[in-house]
Structure 1
Amino acid sequence: MPLVVVGVSVLILLFLMTRLKLNGFAALLFVAVAVALVQGIPVATIPDVLSEGIGGQIGDTMLVIGLGAMVGRVMGDSGAAQRIANKMLDAFGPRWVQVAMVVTSMLIGVTMFYEVAFIIIVPIAFTLVRVTGAKLLWIGLPMSITLSTMHSFLPPHPGPTAVAATFHASVGLTLVYGLFIAIPAGALIALAWPRLPFIKAMNPSIPKGLVSEREFTDEEMPGIGWALAVALFPVVLIAGASVTEMATSGASPFLHFITFIGSAPIALLLTLLLAIWAFGPRIGRSLADVSASCTSAAQAMAMILLVIGAGGAFKNVLVEGGIADHIKDTTDSWSVSPLILAWLIAVILRIALGSATVAVVTASGIVLPLLAGSGVHPEILVLAVSCGSIAFSHVNDPGFWLFKEYFNLSVIEAIKVRTTYTTVLAILGLGGVLAVEWALDVLSL
C-alpha cells in the first residue's frame, strides 16, 4: 500500500503541473499534504512535518545556491566567466567542449557536493552556450551527469561516507574502487546522452537573470589568473577540508578551523567576498554595480528555492509516513546476492523517498546484517548501495527540481532527461560493482 501511495502521488503531481499548469511550489505542497493524510500522519503534526522538510532542505541548499548564484553573476557581469569560457575553448576547441566540461566536472566533483559544484560550474556552462551558440543541454548536460556520478558513487560525499562508516569500510579503498567505476560510467553517459534524439529535440533557453547577456571585449575582461583564482577558491577550501579530515585523526583547533572554512556555506561566502573585491573595486567597478549583480542573482533564485523547499516537504512526508519501514519488511525475506540486494534496496528507497542521501543511509541499515559472513568486501557493498541511490531521480527528489529549473525544462522534459540518465548510471554502476568484486576475488585466489 505505501508504494502505491507513492506512485499515485507522483501521477497526481504530474497531472497538476503538466495538464493544469499549477505552479510547482503549490503543487508539491498540495500533494505532500494529501499524502500525509492518506499515510495517517496526525493532522495536528502535518504543518510541522512540512516545515521540517522545507527547513531541512532549504537549510542545506539556500546558502549554497544563493551564495553560488551571486558569485556566478558577479563573475558573469565582470567578464570573468567569459574569460574562463574563452580559455576552455582555446584549449579544447568548440568540437571538444563537452570533454572540457566532463574533465572540469570530474576534477571539481570528486570532493564537492553536486549542488555546490553545479552552482560553481554552471555560469561557465551558460557562458559557453552564449559564446559558441550551442544548445544548453549539449554543454550543460555533460556537466550535470558527471557531477551526479561523482556525488553519488564516491566518498567523501555524504551518502557514501555515511555508508562506509556503517559497514566499517575503508573510505580510501572505497574511493579508489569507486573511481574505477565512476570515471568510465560517468564519461560514457555524459558524452552519449546529449546525442540521443529525444535530447537533441529539446532546446531550452538559459533562465533569465542567472547569466550576463553582455559580450565583453578582450580588454574589458579580467585576467585569467584572477578569474581562475576566484572560481577555484571554494574548490580548494572544500577539497582541502575533506582531504584533511580523511588524513587526520583526533581533534585540534587547526582541524576545527580547516573544517569551518571548508564547509560549503563559509567557503562560498569567502569566495563571494573575494569576487566582490577582485571584480569590483580592483578593476574599477563600483560596489553599487557589484551589489546590483548580487541582487539580480538573488531575485532569479527565489522561485527555484521555493520549489526545492517544497520538494523537501514532499520527501519528508514520505519518510515520516513509514515507507522505509515497509520496504525493510518487504525485502527481509528476499534471497538474492548481497550486492544485488543492497543495490535493489537502495533503488527502491530512492524511488520512494527521493533523497539519495536518505536512501543510502536507510539502505545501509537494512543491508548491514547481510555483510557478516557474506564474504563480500565491505567497500564494494558501500559502492553497491551508493550506485543504487542515484537511480530514478524524479519529482520527489529536490535535486530534480534544481536540475529542472536551471535548465529551464518542463517536468516531462526533466523526467525524460534526468530520470533516464540517473537510472542508466545506476545500472552501469551495478555492473561495475560486480566486475570489481569479481576482480578482487580473482586476485585473492
Structure 2
Amino acid sequence: MEPMEPVYGAGTLLTIAAAAVAVLLFLIMYLRMHAFVALILVSFLTGLAAGIPFGELAGVATSFFGSTLGSVALLVGLGAMIGRLLEVTGGAQVLADTLISRFGEQRAPFALGVAALLFGIPIFFDAGLVVFLPIIFSVARRFGGSVLLYAIPAAGAFAAMHAIVPPHPGPVTAATELGGSVGLTLLVGLPVAFASWYVGVYLFTKAYAGKVMVPINDSILRGTMSGEPSDLDDADDDARAERIARGEEEVTPPSFGLVLGILLLPFLLIALNTTISTLRQAGTLGDGVFLDALVFVGQTPVALLITLLVATYVLGTRGRSLATVESLLNDALAPICAIILITGAGGMFGGVLRYSGIGAALSDSLADLGLPLIVSAFVISTALRVAQGSATVALVTTAGLMSAGVAAADLSDLKVVCLVLAIAAGATVLSHVNDSGFWLVSRFFGMDVKTTLRTWTVMETTLGVTIFVIALVLWYLVP
C-alpha cells in the first residue's frame, strides 16, 4: 500500500511518532495494558493524529495487520509444532547427551550451547529454556561448579536464535517489513548466530559469568526443596499409565542423526531454493518444471511444512496414535497465539507509521544527522528494547519505522539482511527488569536481581554488540 500524501511537515510527523512510542511504552509498562491491545490502540490514535481520514483508517490498519500475519503466522505456527514434536519425543535430550559425550566433560558448556542452537531453530526462547532445564541441571550436577557455567551458554543460544533466525517472529517480520528475503535471512542468520553466540556468550561465560558461583537449585523442577517425589513425578506416572491404557508403546528416543537431520532439513531446502534463484538471476540456469519445483519446496513455509510432515511420521507416530499426535500439535499452537497477534499488531503500528508519511520523515531526518542506515537501525532498536523490554516488539517497531527509508535506498537483499541483523542486535542488548526473559532466567536458575543483572544482562549486551559488529562488517563488505 503506497503512503498517502503527508498532511503535516516532517517536524510535526516526527513529534507524533515520538509521542506514539511514548504512549505505547506508558500503556505497556505503567498501565500494564496487554501489548496486543496497546499496539492496536496506539495505531489508531497515531493514524488520526497524522491526518489519515476516519473513513480510511480502519481499512489501512487492518490491511497492514493482515499482511503481517500472512507472512508470520505460517512460519511461527509450523516452527512451534516442529519444536513440540522434538521436545516430547526426547529429541532435545538426545541432542544434548550426544554432543556432550562427543565434546567431552571439559567442553560440556560448549556442547550444551550447540545443542540449544540447533534445538532453537524451530522453538522459542522461553519454551526452549523450559525444555532444557532438566538437561542443564543434570549436567551441572554431574560435572559440578556454578550452574551458570552450563545455564548461560544454553540460554544465550536460545536468545541468539530467537533474535536472528527465522522462523522466529521478530526476524521474520523485520525481513518482511524491510522488503527482504526470509530465506536469505535464515541462511545468513544461522552462521551469524553461531559466531555471535561463541564470542558474546560462550567466551563471556568462560571468562566471567561461569565463575560467578550460583549453586544448583532445581527445586522448580521437583516442586519442593526436599528429595521426596513431587506432584510432577505423579503426573508423569499418570501420563505413562494413560499411554499404556491407550495401547501406546514406551519407545526409545530417536537417534542423534535423525534429530539432526530433521533440524537441518528446512535449512537445506531453503539453501537449495536460494542457490537456484541466484543462478537463475545470473543467467547460469534456465527455466524448467523440475527447477521450479525445487524452488517451490525451498520456500520457507513449504520447507517448514515438509519438515513438520517428516517429523510427524518419523518421530511423532513412534508408539503414539495419530490422535495423540494431533493433540500434541494442537497444544503447541496455544502458547504462540499471543505472540502471533502481538506481532501482527506491531506490523499494524509500523504500517500506519509508513502510510502516514512518518517513516519517510524519520528516514530523512536520520539522513540529515549523517548516521549510516545500519547505525540508525541499531540505535532505534536499542532505545525501544531498553524502554519496553520485548525484543520482538523492538524488532517489529524498528523495522516499521525504517521501512520507508530502506525502500528509498534500493538496497540489495544482502544489505537488507544486514539491517535485520543490526535491528536484532539492538533488540538483544541490555535485558533488564522489564524483560520477561530476565525474570525467567532469574527464577529458573535461582539468582537474585543483582546477580542476574551482572551476568544475564551483561551477556545479552555482549551478544547484541557482537551481532552488530558482524552486521556492520558485512554491510561494508557485501554489494
Q: Pick the TM interval, shorter chain.
A: 0.5 to 0.7
Separation (CA, whole Å) in 2 of partners of 1:84 and 1:298: 24
Separation (CA, whole Å) in 2 of partners of 1:379 and 1:318: 23
Q: Which residue number corresponds to residue 7 of structure 2? A: none
The 1:3–1:225 alpha-carbon spacing in structure 2 relative to 1, beyond 3 Å, is same
The 1:420–1:50 alpha-carbon spacing in structure 2 relative to 1, beyond 3 Å, is farther
Q: Which amino acid aligns with 2:15?
A: V
The superposition leaves residues 238-280 of structure 1 with CA deviations (integer Å, 9 ceiling, x where unpaired) of: 2222223223444322222112111121112122221221124
What is the CA-CA distance between 1:6 and the residue it aligns to? 3.0
Separation (CA, whole Å) in 1 of partners of 2:75 and 2:475: 35
Q: Which residue number corresponds to residue 41 of structure 1? A: 52
Q: Which residue number corresponds to residue 427 of structure 2? A: 393
Separation (CA, whole Å) in 2 of partners of 1:15 and 1:354: 18
Q: Which amino acid aligns with 1:310?
A: A
Q: Which residue number corresponds to residue 231 of structure 1? A: 263
Separation (CA, whole Å) in 1 of partners of 2:474 and 2:337: 40
Which of 13, 38, 41 is the aligned partner of 2:24?
Answer: 13
Q: Which residue number corresponds to residue 374 of structure 2? A: 343
Which of 88, 98, 123 is the aligned partner of 1:119?
Answer: 123
Q: How does 1:200-349 map to 2 (within 5 A)?
A: 220-248=252-280, 249-281=285-317, 283-331=318-366, 333=368, 336=370, 341-347=372-378
Q: TM-score of the superposition, structure 1-length normalised?
A: 0.67
Separation (CA, whole Å) in 1 of partners of 2:328 and 2:42: 36
Moved more, 317-326 or 242-251: 242-251
CA contact (8 A) 1:230 1:274 kept: yes
What is the CA-CA distance between 1:24 and the residue it aligns to? 1.9
CA contact (8 A) 2:269 2:297 kept: yes
CA contact (8 A) 1:384 1:433 kept: yes
Q: Which amino acid aligns with 1:262?
A: G
Separation (CA, whole Å) in 2 of partners of 1:16 and 1:161: 27
Q: Which residue number corresponds to residue 141 of structure 1? A: 156
Q: Which residue number corresponds to residue 53 of structure 1? A: 64
What is the CA-CA distance between 1:406 and the residue it aligns to? 12
Q: How does 1:46-125 map to 2 (within 5 A)?
A: 46-92=57-103, 96=107, 99-100=110-111, 117-119=121-123
The superposition leaves residues 317-365 of structure 1 with CA deviations (integer Å, 9 ceiling, x where unpaired) of: 222221222134335555x5xxx53434545776799546667764445
- Specify the SS of the correspondent of 1:432: helix
Separation (CA, whole Å) in 2 of partners of 1:235 and 1:51: 32
Q: Which amino acid aligns with 1:243?
A: T
The 1:179–1:270 alpha-carbon spacing in structure 2 relative to 1, beyond 3 Å, is closer
Separation (CA, whole Å) in 2 of partners of 1:21 and 1:432: 39
Q: Which amino acid aligns with 1:129?
A: L
What is the CA-CA distance between 1:231 and the residue it aligns to? 2.4
CA contact (8 A) 1:79 1:221 kept: yes
CA contact (8 A) 1:390 1:425 kept: no
- Count of paired positions: 389
Unmatched 5+ residue regions in structure 1? 110-115, 165-170, 207-212, 372-377, 395-402, 438-445
Separation (CA, whole Å) in 1 of partners of 2:353 and 2:457: 23
CA contact (8 A) 1:25 1:310 kept: yes
Q: Which amino acid aligns with 1:428?
A: V
The 1:314–1:408 alpha-carbon spacing in structure 2 relative to 1, beyond 3 Å, is farther
What is the CA-CA distance between 1:63 and the residue it aligns to? 1.1
CA contact (8 A) 2:60 2:352 kept: yes
Separation (CA, whole Å) in 1 of partners of 2:13 and 2:441: 30
Which of 33, 38, 41 is the aligned partner of 1:30?
Answer: 41
Q: Which residue number corresponds to residue 131 of structure 1? A: 135
CA contact (8 A) 2:374 2:418 kept: yes
Separation (CA, whole Å) in 2 of partners of 1:314 and 1:364: 17
Q: Which amino acid aligns with 2:356?
A: G
Separation (CA, whole Å) in 2 of partners of 1:418 and 1:316: 33
What is the CA-CA distance between 1:297 and the residue it aligns to? 0.6
CA contact (8 A) 2:79 2:123 kept: yes
Q: Which amino acid aligns with 2:33?
A: L
RMSD of the alignment, in Å?
5.1
CA contact (8 A) 1:182 1:429 kept: no
What is the CA-CA distance between 1:66 and the residue it aligns to? 0.9
CA contact (8 A) 1:68 1:268 kept: yes
The 1:304–1:321 alpha-carbon spacing in structure 2 relative to 1, beyond 3 Å, is same
Q: Which amino acid aligns with 2:290?
A: F
Q: Which amino acid aligns with 1:432?
A: V
Separation (CA, whole Å) in 1 of partners of 2:264 and 2:192: 26
- Specify the SS of the correspondent of 1:221: coil
Q: Which amino acid aligns with 2:465?
A: V
Separation (CA, whole Å) in 2 of partners of 1:332 and 1:431: 17
The superposition leaves residues 386-422 of structure 1 with CA deviations (integer Å, 9 ceiling, x where unpaired) of: 664445339xxxxxxxx96899699xx9997899568
- Specify the SS of the correspondent of 2:327: helix
Separation (CA, whole Å) in 2 of partners of 1:349 and 1:251: 42
Separation (CA, whole Å) in 1 of partners of 2:460 and 2:439: 14
CA contact (8 A) 2:364 2:405 kept: no
Q: Which amino acid aligns with 2:160?
A: I
Separation (CA, whole Å) in 2 of partners of 1:332 and 1:435: 18
Q: Which residue number corresponds to residue 473 of structure 2? A: 432
Residue identity over aligned pairs, in percent, reads: 23
The 1:25–1:297 alpha-carbon spacing in structure 2 relative to 1, beyond 3 Å, is same
- Specify the SS of the correspondent of 1:117: coil
Q: Which amino acid aligns with 1:58?
A: L
Separation (CA, whole Å) in 2 of partners of 1:422 and 1:5: 33
Separation (CA, whole Å) in 1 of partners of 2:262 and 2:128: 13
The 1:193–1:214 alpha-carbon spacing in structure 2 relative to 1, beyond 3 Å, is farther
Moved more, 381-390 or 65-74: 381-390
The superposition leaves residues 80-124 of structure 1 with CA deviations (integer Å, 9 ceiling, x where unpaired) of: 232223223323457645544665788x79xxxxxx935389866
The superposition leaves residues 107-158 of structure 1 with CA deviations (integer Å, 9 ceiling, x where unpaired) of: x79xxxxxx935389866543333112677652323432674577xx9xx95
What is the CA-CA distance between 1:302 and the residue it aligns to? 1.9
